[in-house]
Amino acid sequence: MTTRPAPYSYDAPLPEKEPLQFDVQLKGAPEEIVQLVHSIKQVGEQFLYHWKTFPIVLPSPVNAVDSAPLSTSADIPYITGGGGGEGSSTLGRRCGSRPSSLRDLFVTPSFDELDAVAMDTTGEPRRLTAKQLEALRERG
């Protein structure tokens, strides 16, 4: 009897292994090399495999609307925007309702990365290095 690993649901198919087959052409090689490669090939084919099938079971979307009642165990994860302004989103647990739109799921990140990397530790604009200036002159 095959036991299923914990992350698999009962109706999901199990992944199937398939042994690897090596096609080795050693025409003109010395006999001891042919025997050595043949023994390595046998060991490889005995122990190595690849996945013939590997089913990926995706969870249902967080914002999926289904007619089944929601769990009352308060174990439904949700992401909220919080009340503290930008960047105050939290991951929490709520019982009884799910987020109704994508805006309720995610807070748009700020795209100030360029400003952040363009400044040095004192807040002054960072100067290009000689190598960077040379690259700009050569390649534009």
**Type of residue numbered 132:** Q
pLDDT by residue for the chain (140 residues), tens only, comes to: 455 555 555 677 888 999 999 999 889 999 999 999 999 999 999 999 999 998 888 887 766 655 554 444 444 444 444 444 444 444 444 445 555 666 667 767 677 777 888 888 888 888 889 999 999 999 98
CB contact at 8 A, 50 and 20 = yes
CB contact at 8 A, 127 and 119 = no
Provide the whole-model pTM: 0.36
